């Protein structure tokens, strides 16, 4: 039977990962804007990949369930790449929590019920989650294990508790990593694996929005703090994803790889440390 790889958010990172893990498989590209999925499909199909497209709003359960049905109709789902999200400069607090936190939990829950034995997945989180101060043990467990439909009702996510869009983004991305760890236990029962990657500044349209937004100066300082004084590339993220999703990464699950050129280290212990 055909193997299917689902790529949710087929932007630059999603496409780069699809090129590495989608060879010989059916690649289903899903985006909130169908034209984005179709543009990515044109590129990949021209390069020899078998591709279909779908429209999905990850913050809507009905959309995610429809995507699961479309994917399973194509074949055994052996790969899930979740690279969709919004940044602090792109959306208000409520939208960030709903898309980046709730949406990720919903995708993991839905595809965790159908992932094939031997399958694997990767969630694109963010270095931002690593720069959030420590949460309590209870908060960590709540982000990791609260039922999906109750997640946004957690007291520390209530209006007035989240200070700004950056705080919402950091909470969401910390939540992604915690959720992956908890979901890895459930995915293991199906003989499948799930991991996260927390990239630093990767040169994508989202990163350009941030560089040109109100936090642009801070972004440029972070780039200067990296080992090579540059932003990362989607292909570098894809190389890590291919390792984690492939046979060479078969002993890796429930994990998160921080790949930011050393920015988080500089934030906690170096020149980027808060004064």
83 has pLDDT over 90: yes
pTM: 0.95
User: Do 109 and 70 contact (CB within 8 A), yes or no?
Assistant: no
Average pLDDT over residues 14-31: 98
Q: Is 227 exposed, middle or buried (0-12, 13-18, 19+ CB in 10 A)?
A: exposed
Of 259, 260, 252, the C-alpha closest to 121 is: 252
Of 255, 242, 248, 271, the C-alpha closest to 177 is: 255
65 has pLDDT over 90: yes
When the pLDDT of each residue in the chain is averaged and rounded to a whole number, the result is 95
Per-residue confidence (pLDDT) for residue 224, from 0 to 100: 87
Average pLDDT over residues 266-270: 91
Enzyme catalytic residues: 169, 173
């Amino acid at each position: 039977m055909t193997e299917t790889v689902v790529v949710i958010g087929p932007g630059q990172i999603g496409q780069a990962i699809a090129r590495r893990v989608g060879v010989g498989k059916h690649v289903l590209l899903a985006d909130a804007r169908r034209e984005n999925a179709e543009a990515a499909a044109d590129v990949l199909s021209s390069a020899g990949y078998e591709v279909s497209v779908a429209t999905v709003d990850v913050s809507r359960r009905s959309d995610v369930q429809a995507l699961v049905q479309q994917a399973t109709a194509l074949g055994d789902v052996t790969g899930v790449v979740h690279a969709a999200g919004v940044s602090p400069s792109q959306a208000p607090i409520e939208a960030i929590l709903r898309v980046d936190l709730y949406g990720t939990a919903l995708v993991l829950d839905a595809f965790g019920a159908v992932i094939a034995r031997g399958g694997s997945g990767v969630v694109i989180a963010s270095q931002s989650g690593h720069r959030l101060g420590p949460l309590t043990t209870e908060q960590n467990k709540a982000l990791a294990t609260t039922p999906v439909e109750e997640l946004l009702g957690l007291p520390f996510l209530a209006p007035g508790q989240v200070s700004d869009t950056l705080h919402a983004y950091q909470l969401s991305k910390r939540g992604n990593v915690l959720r992956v760890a908890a979901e890895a236990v459930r995915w293991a029962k199906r003989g499948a694996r799930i991991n996260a990657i927390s990239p630093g500044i990767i040169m994508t349209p989202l990163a350009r929005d941030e560089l040109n937004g109100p936090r642009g100066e801070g972004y440029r300082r972070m780039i200067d703090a990296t080992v090579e004084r540059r932003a990362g590339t989607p292909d570098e993220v894809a190389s890590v994803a291919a390792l984690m999703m492939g046979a060479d990464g078969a002993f890796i699950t429930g994990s998160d790889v921080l790949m930011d050129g050393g920015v988080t280290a500089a934030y906690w212990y170096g020149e980027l440390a808060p004064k």
